[in-house]
Structure formats: C-alpha cells, structure tokens
Structure 1
Amino acid sequence: MESQSDNKGIWKYSDKWEEELILLKTIIDKTELTETTKWGGPVYVYNKKNVIGIGGFKDYFAIWFFNGVFLKDTKNKLVNAQEDKTKSLRQWRFTSKDAVNEAVILEYIVEAIENEKEGKIIKPSKKEAIVSELLDQEMVKNPALKEAFAKFSPYKQYEFLEYIETAKQEKTKLSRIEKVIPMILNNVGLNDKYR
C-alpha cells in the first residue's frame, strides 16, 4: 500500500515546513482571502479566483501568486519558477521562519487581491489561428522558407502571422513579409531580441 506521503506530489515536503506554513497561514488569515484546497494543498481565493497558494518544497517553502506577473515586486522577492512555461505565476521562496516578514507579505497579498479585483489576468493563449495568404504564397515559391517556418514553435509562428496580418494594407503586409523572411530563414523569432 502506498503511504499518504508518497501521494502528495508537490506537497510531499509540507510536513518538513509545518510550523513555517502555519505561520504563513496566520498571516494570510488577516486578509480577505478564503482558504480552499486544490491540487492537494492550500490555495487562497478571492471571489472564487485563485490568488495565492502555499507549500513546502525540498529546500524552501513558498507562497506563489497566481497572477504574480502583475505585482510591482518593489522588494525583488518574486521568482518565476519555470521561465519558458510560466507566464503569470510567481513564487516567493523562504528558507527559514526568520525570512518571513509579515508586513511585506501582507503588502504583496493586498496588492495581489487588488489586481484580482481589477481583473488583471493574462488571457490564455487559445488564440484564433491566423492565416496569411501572402506568406503562404511565398512559402509555395520558396520551400526552404516553408521548412524554416515549420521549425518555430506555434507561439512564434503566431507572432509572425499576427505581425503580417495586423497590417491594414496589402503593400504593408508585403513589406512586413520581406522583413521577416530573412529572420525566418535564420531561425530568429520576431521578438527574440526582447526575450
């Protein structure tokens, strides 16, 4: 039989940080968030929207802010746990109770609640597919272009298509295509230089 602790996934270290997590809970209880349990651990919601979660990991315990990307983070506390995957989630990691500063934590949580009230969220990227007939024509003429374009992630393909198709006039679309063809052939994403 599997013991309970094998089954906790990301929560399997919560016991190690029991006191620390109780301390975080007492701080969070001072806010208007409601505690729920999701994915096997405590998640705090405002108006049924996930605002923060807490949990223990092997080397630290953490609060994560579901829409942490919008926090001002004036004290530079937040980290993005998975750079390429996570768009909005941010973690604040602690390695001891001494690191827990109630006033600052409350400041961050209050800001997160305000952002939730204002409806600041990153829209999920289920975007309408964009078709660029002009780019398609170029690819028919130039198989190497088609092959190079296929190597990009769907997200980067979308950026190119959006860039071309948001132009109002055909001549602008064509000039944008001329601009992106060398980028595509050199495997350079449209916004790579900003990433």
Structure 2
Amino acid sequence: MSKISSIKEYVLLHAEWDAQLRQLIGVMEQTELSASIKWGAPVYSLDGKNVIGLGAFKNHIAIWFFQGVFLKKNTALLVNAQEGKTKALRQIRFERNDNISNASIIPYIEEAIANQKAGLELKAKPKSLEIPEELEAILNGNKLLKDAFHDLSPGKQKEYAQYIAEAKKQATRTNRIKKIEPLISQGKGLNDRYRK
C-alpha cells in the first residue's frame, strides 16, 4: 500500500465514503485548524497539537476528538472507541446511510477547539516498573549489577523486566537472567544490537 500524502488521496482511497468525507472535510476547512496527514489519515491541529482526525473504515467513518474526554457540552453522539483502554480519545461514528448534519457536528468541533485553546489535555501516566522476583533477587544480591540496572534508561529496564517475566518456565527465566547479567553490567539494553 502506498503512503497517503494528501487529503485528496485519502478521499480517493476511500471512494465508497466520498460524499461523507468531502462533507466533513468541508466543515473542517471552515475552522482555524491546520490540516495534515498523520498515521495515513487526515488530522487537524492547532498550534501543533492534534485536535481532530477523520477516519474511514469498512463499516463506518468517524470524527476523532483527540481530547474528547473534555467535551462536556456536546456528548450525545460521542463514543469511546475502546472502552477501558482509550482514555482521552472520543469519536462520532457514521454508518453508510446516516445523514450527517453539519449543524449537529459543528458544536463538537467548536468545543474541541475551545478546549485546546484552554490547554485541556489528558496526559498518559507512566506505568510503574514491575521487576520479576528472580531479577529482583539477583539485583539485590549484587550491588554493582543493581547500580548498573538503575543507571539504565526506564525503557531498557522495562525491556529486561518483560524479557524475564514473559518466560513461562523457571529454567528459562534462570537462563535468561544469566544471559542478561553481562549486558546490564556493560550498561547495554537488551535490544541495543537492533537499534541504529
């Protein structure tokens, strides 16, 4: 699949949604938001912050509100794409024969822009690192290794913790710990050899 570089190409790629996409794009063009293609779809931003995105799928099209959790005046049409997973993102979905009323979606767009101007943003909370017992025991038994582990970036620490935790058998965990001890001592990440 070729990379989409313009909104026009996006509409052509999703010809089955041509009329609806053109209507939504027309509404977005009347705002102060800047249009671009991100993740292969139209995204509209304000001062470099993503505010709204459009998406065409097999059975529906959607308007995404990146900080939709803050939409309070206009909520009747909003859905959470992945209940329990999606924190800030909300969307309005339209199926094939749905009538898209500009009058009904413009208030959502205006509120999303106002919220962005007000700086409302739900930031992801970093997850705490859970170190498997076997790795914790080795680190606690070797101060130099423990210091080297804590000197690693949080991402590298997480790679090691996951590498040990995902092993099902105790023998595999033990072998993996023996394998990573020299890497940790050298200040290397588990996957450094794959990084450029």
The two structures have a TM-score, normalised by structure 1, of 0.57
Contact 2:79/2:91, CA 8 A, preserved across alignment: yes
Superposed displacement of residue 14, structure 1: 2.7
Superposed displacement of residue 105, structure 1: 1.2
Partners of 2:14 and 2:50 lie apart in 1 by 20
Q: Name the residue aligned to 1:45.
A: 45
Superposed displacement of residue 20, structure 1: 1.0
Partners of 1:28 and 1:40 lie apart in 2 by 17
Q: How far does the alpha carbon of each residue in 1:128-185 deviate from its partner, in whole angstroms, 9 at most, with x for none?
A: 77xxxxxxxxxxxxxxxxxxxxxxxxxxxxxxxxxxxxxxxxxxxxxxxxxxxxxxxx
Superposed displacement of residue 122, structure 1: 0.8
Partners of 1:75 and 1:124 lie apart in 2 by 22
Partners of 1:113 and 1:97 lie apart in 2 by 28
Query: CA 1:38–1:128 in 2, change beyond 3 Å: closer, same or farther?
Result: same
Partners of 1:23 and 1:115 lie apart in 2 by 24
Q: Name the residue aligned to 2:21.
A: 21
Matched residue SS, 1:43: strand
2:78 counterpart of 1:78: yes
Q: Compute the RMSD of aligned alpha carbons.
A: 2.6
Q: Name the residue aligned to 2:122.
A: 122
Partners of 1:44 and 1:85 lie apart in 2 by 23
The two structures have a TM-score, normalised by structure 2, of 0.56
Structure 1 unaligned runs (5+)?
6-10, 130-195
Superposed displacement of residue 37, structure 1: 0.6
Partners of 1:53 and 1:99 lie apart in 2 by 19
Q: Name the residue aligned to 1:32.
A: 32
* Total equivalences in the alignment: 123
Structure 2 unaligned runs (5+)?
4-9, 130-196
Question: Which structure is richer in relative contact order (CA contacts within 8 A, separation 6 or more)?
Answer: 1
Matched residue SS, 1:81: coil
